Each structure stands twice: as structure tokens, then as C-alpha cells.
Structure 1
Amino acid sequence: MKRRADRPKKRVFQGNKQVTASKQPRLDVSITCSKPDSIESTEKSSVQHVDNNTPRARKSKTKPTSGPSFIENSASFTKIKQEDVDFDIDNELTGFRFVDIQRLITFVQSLLCPHCKKELGANKRLSHVKEEKITQASTLTFTCQCQQTVEFCSSGKVGKVYEVNRRFPLAILAIGKNKKGAQRFLGNMNMPPPPAPKSWQNHKRQILKQTRCVADNSIRKAAQELRGEVTDEENDKLTDVTVSVDGTWHRRGFSSKHGIVTTLSVNGKNGKVIDTETLSNYCDSCAKHKNKLGVDEFELWKAAHVRKGLCNKNHTGSAGSMEPVGAETTFRRPSELHKLRYVRYLGDGDSKSYARVRDAGIYEGVDIEKLECCGHVQKRMMRQLTNKVTDLKNTKFQHNGKIVKGIGGGSGLKKAGILKIQGHYGAAMRQNVGNLQAMRNAIGAIFEHRNKEHRNCGTWCLDKKQNGQDPDQNSLPPYVMDSIRPVFETLSDDSLLEKCVHGGTQNTNESSGIVVQKQTSVAVPA
């Protein structure tokens, strides 16, 4: 079914904005000159040539924006910037480039040696070039005819590791690929092969370590925002908050071996992640060793494997049971970590996770309240009206002296009309947040409008606009209205609307799940 042009797009999850990472430190690519027995790759070189006649980079035709004010005031910018990736747009000489190694060697050999003042490659017999490869990083040593050396390193170091060697696995993992994908990319680019399996796993562990550190800081700050300013006397007290919980899986369906449950705050339009729980019913190392070792040997190995905390399997059961288990785990943690108490649960109507959290007795003497996602409730209107049309397609009705079959043909209820009613139903909930009576009246006005009664309609009604158009042009025959009346009565019941009066949705949860899936679109152990 095509999306209506006037229907707004879902908000894209932008992450916990208060912890946006700063730009990476600028690392200079340097050319160093020294004697053969003392080479320091991090010193700045005296062999630096800048050609002022080199044409500048072509400027973009897009006018620069005004920075933060543009981000705050433009929804379009938020939608465009779906990937939080910073690019250097200031024409600064930073970052990494794809460089043809032969062209680089030719250029460096045309430079003058700082000792003999002759070109480094002037004498083909006495001068030569030696390359030392460390995965994607290369160190080129140019030997002049005077036997002095000039060294060029393609990457700076971050600690003991070359930056490009750490960034390359990070980039591959960030686009949802693994080592095999990296190998295919480098092979097609005619570049050095990726790190060895052991080095690749080490890079992944270091990236995971730093990612967890950033995530923990982000979650901690998001939790502090929920608590707000508290005094020293209130510091030990728990703050009651509303959260939205949803799960996503590594693969579609219920055959996935890995899943993640995300808990987001519900405070305004932009919820923030305040907890996550990753669950897996599979361990790649265990599967491999089980095939190699005997039963007794495997049991001994697995006991040591689990004791060291290296086993990835932390869930026993189906993929469908991961979300309820993860929800209960996240509900038990916040009182100890963040001094929060999740007393209101925002989720879809048939959530098994809420039933598990409710029956777990997590907070003594406190019942966890169930809130409905307005987006899911809005979908019920379309689903129930569609089902009603399908159920009555063979039922005959009397209309204007004629026999009419079903309520979906002729002047009856069609797909376009169902979508409009669904949209009006969602708007009635979101435009009357916090006011149950006004929400009920607005939903009732939708039914009355289709029944040619406009006294309770809002400003959206053509009868209120008084522009000469027929306000009854979208009305439905009486037999159709009588058939869909039970749907409106069910979806305007106080017991349901009381759970929707908050106006919140799970869209942010679902968007964050899409972000996770984009970066885990391949087998996790690879």
C-alpha cells in the first residue's frame, strides 16, 4: 500500500544527542629525514613542499549553513543527516586518501635530499625505495645516492596502533560487513590484504571496549536528564519514569540467534536510550570446539570458557522469548545504576514483555502501568476497518431501494477512505494529549462527519471553512456507518484512550532498531 503524500514520515532516531562525539584528533602525515640508524616516524620533516600554484579544490555550490541554529530549526536537515558521520568540509589537509603508490614514489623521488641537495631518485643505480607493510599502514624508506634516508609513513599512530589499521575495521563493521567483505573490497581496490584473523579479532575487541565506554556515558547522561536536578537529600530516592521498550533481532522472523532489547525514555518527541540488553542463544567458539573435541574434553573446555567470560551465549530459548527476558533484565537494573524506577511501560497492545515485567514483581508494592503506543493503536483503526470490509463482502444490504453487496463497493468504504479515517484518528489522539474528554469528542466527530453531522467537527471540516465545497462529499451510506459503528465504539472506549492520553509512540524504538540492523547485517561471529 502506497504512503499518502500528505502523511508525515516517521522520525529518524538520531541517538542520544547530548553525547555527540567530538572530532577525531588531527594526525599529520609526516615525511621524516634521518640517518639510517635513527628513524623516528612521528617527527616533522624538513622535506615539505607546498606548491602555491596548485589549483584549489572546487567549492561546493551549496551555501554553508548557520550551524546549530539550522539543525534546531530544520526538520529536513534532521532527515538528511541520518548517518552521524562527520566529513571534513573545510578543505583542511586531514584524514585519509586513496593514493596510487607509484605516483607517490615518483613524487617523493622528485624532491631534493636535505643533505646532498639532489633529487632522491636522480641516480637509479644508487637510490632505491623500500616498503614495510603493517596491514593498511605502509612505511616507505627512500635511500638517496648519498646513502641518506628519507622516511614516509602513511598513517600516524594512536597509542601503539596505526590509526588507519584501527579505523579500517571500524569502517567495515559500521557498514554491517565483516572480514570477508573487507577482503573483497581490498582485493578489488588492489590494496594490501586485511589483518590476520587474530589481529582482526583484537581490533574488534578494542572497538567494542571503546564503544561500550561511549554507550555507558551516553546512557548515564540520559538517565541524569530524566532525574533532573536533585538535592543531596533526594539523591538516594528513586525517580518514577515512563519508558518505551522494544526488541529487534539480527535476522527477520523467529530464527535469529541474536537479539537486542532497547529501553528509551519517553519525554517529548525525542526519546533517548537509557538501557540495552543483548541476548544470544549461540556461541561461535562453542559450536566450533564441540565439533573438534570429544564430549568430556568439550565439557572441560566449555567450563573454562564460561568461567573466563568469553562465551557469547547468555540466553536459552527461542528468539521470540528474547524480548520478554531482556525487558525484565532492563527493568531490574535502573534502581541500582541510575536511581530510576520504571513504573509506566509504553508498548504495543499484545506485548508479552509487559506481561512478564508485570508478573515479575520487580518493585515491591508498585504495579507497573501499561501505556499504549498511539502509533500501534492508530493502526488498529485501519486493520479493523479493513477486516470489517472483508468480513461483510458477501453480505447484502438494502440501500435506496437497491440490494448492495458488501460495504466496500460503489459509494462504500474504500482503501482511500480507510486511510483518511486512520489519519484523522491518529490526529485526534495527538492533538488532545492530556485531555481524555477532548480526545473522545474528537474521535466521535470523525464518525459524525462521515454520517453528515458537522456540529462537533473541527476546523478541518469543509463545513467550518465555508469555502463553498460540499462538506458531505466524503460521507458514507447509512448501512456502512451502522457496520463500522462497533469499530469506533471499541477504539474510543475510555479504557483504551486512558492508555493513549500521553500521546507517545514507539517510533523512536523502532528507528533505533533499524540503526542497529544497519550495522549488524551480517553474521555476528564473522
Structure 2
Amino acid sequence: SAKRAANADCVDASSRVASATSLLDSDCVAASSDVPAASSVQDCVASGMPCLPNASTSAIAASSSCLASSPKSDNVSPAVHLETHFLTCEEIEAADAQRTAVQERLGAMPATQRKFEAMTPDPRSATATSEGSKFYLVQMDTLSDLHSRTLCMHCLAPGLTIQEGTQLGLATKLELMCPHCGIIASSWNSARQNDAMAFEVNIRAIMAMKQIGKGQTALNDFWATMNVSHRGLHHRTFQKHLKKTFRDREIQCVDKFYAESAAAVKEVYKEMDPSFCRDITVVYDGTWHKRGHTSHIGVGAVIEYHTGLIMDAVVLSNQCLGCQVGPKPGDADYASWHEHHVCQKNTDAKSGRMEVEAALILFNRSVSKHNLRYTTLVSDGDSATFSALVQENVYGLVPIVKEECLNHVQKRMGTALRNLVQKSEKSLGGKGRLTKALIDKLTDYYGWALRNNSNDVAAMQRAVMASYYHVTSTEEEPRHDFCPEGANSWCRHKVAEASDSPQPKHKYNLPGYVAEAMLPVYQRLSQASLLQRCLGAKTQNASESFHSVLWSLMPKEQHASLIAVQTALHEAVLRYNAGCQRATKEISVSVGLTPGHLAIQRAAEKDALRMGKAKKRNRVKNERRERKKVRKDTSSYSAGSF
């Protein structure tokens, strides 16, 4: 939609140009009756003159539709027509108010609550039932002792015993022995899955290991310690089920969740703006399986900003262990090996480039997958990903706008000051100068200046420079002109001035050469171009939270294959978007298991605990914010911060 008019009599030309740019969408066809009006709007935009001299009585041109191209021919170049819609000033203000109200409502909720409410409720009852086969750990001697009190069905002799027969993983054939008749009956301790040779107990064991972030080695060690089996599952069997039973089936499950998340996001955006087409704000960040820049596996995930729902994710691997240790071209058995080998290398990118490659994959398929465009990108200071997206021209003439993560911008102050101390020829650190504690304080003050003025670039600039001049102020040269006025100011000198009290002594008294060295850092980090990208105080907290969920299911300390990370990613997405309870149900059904009622009960407990903690943190944060509102007048920070 068009931006609010700069005044009641004209529409800002740059806003109309931006609106026209946002209309580029080949899927929307303009009505032929609107072509004359569109031409007049384009003429006004090109000339830079106001389209409507009296906006108080006329309608203001606002964008809500798209550009359409006429069929191409050999003699006629494609014609582009602009379908215009008109909104009055009152309608624009009402739309802004509606959008703000929805964003404030979502912002007041904990992130967990936003996601759970946005996702479609599970049609199955949330109450744990007696569904699913229940398993017990039974000592064999106890079981044999129990059967010894029964009679043989053939000879009626007592003394029946249970002995172990064939063992396939954790599935064991139990044989009922009569001392006279021999084996009179046998049965497996677990049923096979429908239309499959796999035993339910083996599939559940793999699923259990996945949910606690462990693999085949941990599974074998656990059952060996319990004296159940010296090797719970062979590593080939484990990997086969991980690939065929879990990964391949979970793909369909997680795709359904992605579609459901996209539908929920569209509903939220339509609530904010009824004319919403498909441009949304997303948070994107990459993560790696190994720390440092030597990881062979990287993950990229796109998270919608307002709802916190994961829209899409991908795992990249630049290494295949099978290709490294398997037969090489020219070997006698290479052809047969290569025929059955599934390579786990899906990119040639180095670890540092994986974040960029993942972003290109996810952004390029956003329209085909969800009919959405990720046109506003919240990311850290690394410009490689954004530059690659711009160069790729992902959405044609529709630009992608980058907004900064406020947490990462705040860290730049600390990094810049520490580098200043280390690289300066003069001694800037130590007592009475830039100590570690002072640098940490200045970093916090910089972050507060941005957060507390997140809707006004000029106010952010003033607050940032106020912190600089306040800290570098001395008895000989006081610098408190930028500090907030009044008795409630965070500046003790302004408080004393307002109450006609004696001026307190300056706290820091930094040498002049230190203040002079700090000034370029503050000037660079208070540039309008940077602060413009910080409007709204957006962060990448959602990405960091998702990464913690993902790597809890596949710890960075243990080796993992592409398939293992993919299965961990699938479960992490389901848990993050809809909670453990629904994730357990959906994955169980996808692999052919009936959800166990005890597993569902435990998952529900974890979700309730997660929601309770989220609400408590949110309540404490809101209470703290309300207390600050009561205390402050024109202050940008809490009283006594300096």
C-alpha cells in the first residue's frame, strides 16, 4: 500500500515510485479501463509533480495490484499497464492503524504462543489416550517363573519356560518350552509394521534416539548396559531406516507444515492489510554443524518475522564419506557400487559460502512453493547473502530490502571500541581510559539508544551522540547539550540543573585523545543510512532460537551425515512451529506408527512447560517496560544509567 502522504495537499513522489515498483507482478492483469488513469499517474511520477493538488477532497493514488504485460509479438514490444486503486487520507490512516494494532497484538504475545495460535489446531484430541502399543521391560527370569506355574496344553505337565530364539535388533522371538513336548508356541516380542518387515520396537527405538539427539552408537550402548542386546541395531540397519523410513516420509510431513505455516502467515498479513498480495518480512540466518569455518554441513532457514513460523529450510553438504572411501572410477566393482550409491554431497560451496547458497535456493523457490516473496530481509551485518540475492535478481524488478538485526548492530560498538584499543598507537586502554567494563557499558548504552528510539532516525542519532558526549565530558569541558532535559533525565547533571542543585563531579574524565579517537566510531555507527535499517528494532532472535532446537537434536560435538541432519531438521521445524506434541503425532503417523499415549503425554508436558516459561518471561518483560514508562519523562534510558 502507498505510504502516508507527506502533507494534506500532495503525495510524495518517491513514495509513488516505490509503490509503482512494488506492483511488479506478472500474475496480476490490469483492467483496460484503468489504463488512462495509470498513464496519468505515471506521468506525474515521472515529472515529480503532485498528482492531486487537493488531497483533502480527492483520492490519493495507492498501490495494491500489479503490472501486466501484453502478449509479445515480433512487431510490438510488451506493453505494461498499471492498475491503480485510490485511497483517501482517512483510509490510509485507518490501514496504518489496523496494521499497527495487529503488530502490537502479536508483539505482546510470547513467540511460542504466537506460533501455536497461528498453526491449525490438531483435529485429534490433545488428551492422551490408550492408543499405541505399550512396551514393558521384563526380566526374563521373572517371565519364566510366571510361566512355570502353568500347564502344558498338550501333556498337562507343569514347568513351562520361556527361552529366546531368533533376534532381529531389539525384536526377539520368544519360545514357550515344555520339558516333555519341547517348543509348543512362539511369538515375537513386537509386532511388525503394516506392509513392512520392520518391527515396531526397532522403529520406536530409532525415533527415541532421534528425539534425544543421539545416534546408533548411543542406542547400542544403552541396550547393552540394560543387558537387552549387545548391539541394538546394526549401523546399516539404523542408516537404512533413518533414510527410508524417516527422512523420505518426513519430507512429506514437513512440506505439509510449511504449507500450513504459509497459509497462517497470509492470514496475518491480510489482517494487517486487506490488499496484501505476497510480499512478507522474513528473518534469515545460516548455521553450521561444526564450529568455525571447517564444517561440511550447513543449514539455512527462512522465518517469517511477525509470526515466528519457519517457512522453508534446506541442508547443504559439500562432502560424501561414501565417495571418499568407496571404489574409484576404473575399479572393477565401481559400476555396481555406483549404481546403488546415493551421494550425500549436494553442493560444491565451501562452508563460508553455504549460507549464501542456501539463501539463493530458498528465495528462488518461495513463489513456486508458497506464492510469497521474501522482499524484506532481516539479517546480520554480513552483506554477502544480501548482495548475492540482489545480484541474482530473485524477484525481477521487485527489490529486496535489507533491515539490520539490532543485536548485531549493537555488538558493532563493542567490537569497534575493542579494535580501537588494540590497534591504536597510543595507549587507549587501562585505568582512566577505555577499560573492558566501560566498553561493555558503552555497548549497552548504544543498544538502548537504538531500542528506545526505534521509530525515529533523528532521535536515535541524538541519543547515540548524547551517550558519547556525556561519557567524554569533563570538569573543564562539560558536554551535556544532547542529554535529555528535566528532573527525570538519566543525566545527573541535567537533574541537578533542573533542581538548582550543585553539579556533581564527572564520573569518567576520559583524556582528550581518547575522546578524539572514539568520535569516528560513534559517527560511523550513527549514520542515518545504518539507523534507517534499524527502524522497528528487529532482531534475529527467532533464528537463534531455532538453531538451538536444531542442534539439540543433532549436537555439534558428534559426527553426522547429511541424512541425519535432514531428519533432525524436519523434527526441529515441527517442534519449533507447532510444539512437541503435534510433532510426535505427525512423525509417528508418517512412519507408520500409532502415536503412543505415553509419548503424547510427555510431549504435552514439555509443550506446557515451554508455554509457561515463555509467558512468564513475557510477563516480566512487559512489567519492566511499564515501570520504565512510569519513571521516565523525556529520558531515553533509565534514571541513573550513567
TM-score (norm 2): 0.57
Q: 1:19 to 1:229 in 2, by over 3 A?
A: closer
- The one of 431, 434, 438 aligned to 1:417: 438
Letter in 2 for 1:361: N
**Matched residues in 2 for 1:437 and 1:186: separation?**
64
Q: Cα offset for 1:462?
A: 4.9
Deviations 1:422-448 (A, max 9, x none): 112112222333322332232233223
Structure 2 residue aligned with 1:168, among 205, 222, 230? 205
2:484 maps to which of 448, 456, 463: 456
By how many angstroms is 1:332 displaced? 0.6
Q: CA contact under 8 A between 1:413 and 1:476: conserved in structure 2? A: no
Please give the residue correspondences for 1:399-414 in structure 2 after superposition, counting only pairs within 5 Å.
406-414=427-435
The 5 Å alignment of 1:84-103 reads 96=135, 98-103=137-142
CA distance in 2, matches of 1:19, 1:96: 32
Task: Pick one of 399, 424, 428 that aligns with 2:449.
Answer: 428
Cα distance in 1 for partners of 2:121, 2:180 equals 51
With 449-458 and 310-319 compared, the bigger mean Cα shift is at 449-458
Alpha-carbon distance in structure 1 between the residues aligned to 2:491 and 2:185: 79
Quick one: distance in 2 between partners of 1:210 and 1:24? 24
Aligned to 1:439: 460
Please, which of 354, 368, 378 is the counterpart of residue 336 of structure 1?
A: 368
Corresponding residue for residue 195 of structure 1: 233
Residues paired across the two proteins, number: 424
Query: AA paired with 1:435?
Result: D
Question: Distance in 1 between the 2:448 and 2:281 partners?
Answer: 22
Deviates more, 1:218-227 or 1:414-423: 218-227
C-alpha distance in 2, partners of 1:27/1:149?
31
- 2:330 paired with 1:294: yes
Contact 1:129/1:143 (<8 A) preserved = yes
Equivalent position SS for 1:446: helix
Q: In the TM superposition, what is the alpha-carbon distance from 1:272 to its structure 2 partner?
A: 2.3
Higher helix share: 2
* Aligned 1:197-212 pairs, distance under 5 A: 197-204=235-242, 205-212=244-251
Post-superposition CA distance 1:66-103 (Å, at most 9, x none)? xxxxxxxxxxxxxxxxxxxxxxxxxxxxx655443323
Aligned to 1:361: 393
User: 8 Å contact 1:140–1:151 — kept in the other structure?
Assistant: yes
- d(CA) in 1 for partners of 2:388, 2:533: 19
* Cα distance change of structure 1 residues 210 and 290 upon mapping to structure 2, 3 Å threshold: same
> Is this contact kept in 2: 1:13–1:512, CA < 8 A?
no
Partner of 2:158: 123
The one-character-per-residue Cα deviations of 1:288-321 (angstroms, maximum 9, x if unpaired) are: 4334x6258647864x558xxx332221232222
Q: Which residues in structure 2 correspond to 1:251-270 (within 5 Å)?
A: 251-267=290-306
Contact 1:137–1:164 (CA under 8 A) maintained in structure 2: yes
Amino acid at match of 2:400: I
The RMSD of aligned alpha carbons is 4.0
Choose the corresponding residue for 1:248, options 287, 299, 303.
287
1:502 — aligned with what?
536
Unmatched 5+ residue regions in structure 1? 1-10, 30-94, 396-405
In structure 2, what is the Cα distance between the partners aligned to 1:14 and 1:178?
31
* SS of equivalent to 2:344: coil
After TM superposition, the structure 1 stretch with the greater mean CA deviation from structure 2, 379-388 or 236-245, is 236-245
The answer (yes or no) to whether the contact 1:237–1:339 under 8 Å persists in 2 is: no
Aligned letter for 1:508? Answer: A
Q: Compute the displacement of 1:490 (Å).
A: 1.0
CA distance 1:250–1:110, change in 2 (3 Å): same
Q: Which amino acid aligns with 2:210?
A: L
Q: Choose the corresponding residue for 2:550, options 509, 512, 516.
A: 516
User: 320, 326, 331: which one pairs with 1:283?
Assistant: 320
* Aligned residue in 2 for 1:222: 261
Percent identical residues:
28
2:104 alignment counterpart: none
1:351 aligns with 2:389: no
CA offsets 1:243-266 (integer angstroms, 9 cap, x no match): 222222222233322221111111
Q: 2:502 & 2:238 partners in 1: Cα distance?
A: 68
Q: Decide whether the 8 Å contact of 1:243 with 1:346 is kept in 2.
A: yes
Contact 1:462 1:469 in 2 (8 A): no
CA drift of 1:156 comes to 5.8
User: What secondary structure sits across from 2:311 in the alignment?
Assistant: strand
What letter corresponds to residue 475 of structure 1 in structure 2?
Answer: Y
